[in-house]
Amino acid sequence: MSVLSSKFPALTMGKISPEKIRDLMLGVIMPMVGLVFFLIFWQVGAQNIKTSLGTFPGPKEVLAQWSNLVDEHKTERKREADFYTHQTTRNAEALAQDPAAEIKVRKFSRHPTFFDKIKTSLITVLCGFFLASIIAIPMGIFIGLNQSLYRAFNPIIQIFKPISPLAWLPLVTLAVSSAYQSESPLFAKSFIISVITVMLCSLWPTMINTAVGVAGVSKDLINVSRVLRLSWFTHVRKIVLPSSIPMMFTGLRLSLGIAWMVLIAAEMLAQNPGLGKFVWDEFQNGSSDSLGRICVAVLTIGIIGFMLDRTLLAVQSWANWDKSAIVR
């Protein structure tokens, strides 16, 4: 509501001018209209698709599955809480009877719910994206500063850029399985495999766009830097980075989009307990609810992807020196 009233102050003040009505139409009503049309189209279309698991779920069924998933999450959390209260009381009783009694504190073996899986997916994608960024941004800067380096790296980048995550996955799996062997691993193997696959696929847009941004720093500013005799480090920090921020963020946003898409595929095959595995498990499960639950996951994936992009956009507005620049 506060967003609405700040965007459309007329709503709260009672005076509505024609321009405000136009803004309201474009800003709120038209997206609603689009959404309603989509829901109608979905409902009608779904009724006409008969699958081996029954009719394709419409909006209503999917909503029902969503509340099922929420309920399952709540039940699971309650079970966990119950388990721990039970354990504490039992231990307390044991101690009261015999102070020397051996006390067992066990961990609840949590069965990951839909929301746990969302969390896993988010952590995995952010790890992969972060790794990719801390490699791609410095590389992009070096490549962008040096024409020869750019020429040397360009063919490699162009060849690696279009490779599908599904092609990387077997290689990554084998490499990780042989290289990452430990009795009590800090991370699950499936997590590492997913992170590396995400990283390999989301390196390139950031690297290329950073390089292009760095190479495009105005000649005048480079001359200024030379005349002021700035050190290499100051040159990069004060001149190169601020001017290439818009391009760099374009790359980062492309990368994050790719990372999120790749992650779902990687989780399906690597069995990392995230949204990808959820979809795969439901598909294998094949109950009458499965299609609806997959639809919930699909919509969730879309909404999270959108929110990730918006978050990065906000970071860009914060990092950019030019606050008046329109970012979209």
Write out the residues near another protein by the rule CB under 8 A. 220-221, 223-224, 226-231, 234, 238-239, 242, 321-322, 324
Instruction: State the DSSP string of 102-123.
Output: PP----------HHHHHHHHHH
User: Which residue type is seen at 241?
Assistant: L
Minimum separation from the CB atom of position 296 to another protein (A)? 45
What whole-number distance in Å separates Cα of residue 263 and Cα of residue 162?
16
Closer to another protein by CB, 148 or 181: give it.
148
Minimum separation from the CB atom of position 221 to another protein (A)? 7
Minimum separation from the CB atom of position 319 to another protein (A)? 11
Minimum separation from the CB atom of position 138 to another protein (A)? 21
Closer to another protein by CB, 213 or 305: give it.
213
CA distances in angstroms from 25 to 22, 44, 328, listed in the order given: 5, 27, 20
> Are 172 and 215 spatial neighbours (Cβ–Cβ below 8 Å)?
no
Minimum separation from the CB atom of position 250 to another protein (A)? 18
Cβ neighbors of 291 (< 8 A, separation 6 or more) are 51, 53, 54, 56, 57
Closer to another protein by CB, 213 or 273: give it.
213
DSSP 180: -
Minimum separation from the CB atom of position 112 to another protein (A)? 46
Two tokens at 253? 């946003």
Cβ neighbors of 224 (< 8 A, separation 6 or more) are 239
What whole-number distance in Å separates Cα of residue 56 and Cα of residue 142?
52
Closer to another protein by CB, 89 or 231: give it.
231
